[in-house]
Amino acid sequence: MNKKIKAKLFIFTGPSGVGKGTILNDFFKKINDNNSTKITYSISYTTRLPRDGEIDGVHYFFVDEKKFNNLIKNDAFLEYAQYSGNYYGTNKNFVQNKINDNISVLLEIELQGALKVMKKCPDAVSIFITPPSFEELEKRLRNRHTETEEAILKRLECAKIELSNIDKFKYVIENDSVDCAVSKLTEIFNREVADV
């Protein structure tokens, strides 16, 4: 007999460079391979330019500011925020439709957006990914070679604010080892969707 599940909204936040993308790649592979429980990833809209290898409609929906502003006017976002000079927003209809279909949704979003969603959706499960140390975070961010020096410094400034809000999150996972972080996330997910 299939276990009963209750779809939930998961908020996944952590400073840029902490390894959220790597954790999520492994998590989604693992969870979709061996689970009757369903969870999907919400693809955000952003005004940021694509990095090498990023695909429109896969990593983000890449739009210009005019299109982003139209989406705001049309109330298309569950939340949106400006982060490090660019806008990012969550597609409200996508999230609502999936939850209505009993499919959990994971939002990988920064702090301001996370706080807005927590307020609007008190049942959302908030998870913060933290680095082993600030020095390690800076090292990881620099080793990605995806940002200019100016962008790295902006992201490190944001990271300080994000790390000082850690106590607002229900769960905190330290990303010391990706495998351990994925196991902890899987455990949290399975526990939270179990309909008791």
Residue 133 sits at φ, ψ, to 5 deg, of -160, 165
Spell 157-183 as b/e; 16+ CB within 10 A means b: ebbeebbeeeeebebebebeeeeebbe
Residue 171: beta bridge partners?
Answer: 127
Q: Quick check: 68 and 47 in contact, CB under 8 A? A: yes
Q: Quick check: 175 and 130 in contact, CB under 8 A? A: yes
Judged by CB under 6 A, the chain residues 54 through 83 that form the site for ligand 5GP are 79, 81, 83
The residue of the chain with the least Cβ separation from ligand 5GP equals: 113
Residue 179: beta bridge partners?
Answer: none
Number of residues forming the site for ligand 5GP (CB under 6 A) = 14
Judged by CB under 6 A, the chain residues 12 through 31 that form the site for ligand 5GP are 16
Strand ranges, E, within the chain:
9-13, 39-41, 45-46, 61-62, 77-83, 86-91, 104-108, 125-130, 171-174
Residue 13 sits at φ, ψ, to 5 deg, of -130, 155
Answer yes or no whether residue 109 interacts with ligand 5GP by CB under 6 A: yes
- Least distance CB 43 / ligand 5GP (angstroms): 9
The one among 11, 19, 44, 98 contacting ligand 5GP by CB under 6 A: 44
The residue among 166 and 190 lying less far from ligand 5GP, judged by its C-beta, is: 166
Judged by CB under 6 A, the chain residues 85 through 104 that form the site for ligand 5GP are 88-90
The residue among 118 and 182 lying less far from ligand 5GP, judged by its C-beta, is: 118
Helix axes 178-193, 20-33, angle to 10 degrees: 50
Judged by CB under 6 A, the chain residues 141 through 180 that form the site for ligand 5GP are none
The residue among 5 and 129 lying less far from ligand 5GP, judged by its C-beta, is: 129
Q: Quick check: 127 and 169 in contact, CB under 8 A? A: yes
The one among 38, 48, 142, 154 contacting ligand 5GP by CB under 6 A: 48
The one among 68, 110, 126, 127 contacting ligand 5GP by CB under 6 A: 110
Give residues in contact with ligand 5GP (CB under 6 A): 16, 44, 48, 79, 81, 83, 88-90, 108-110, 112-113
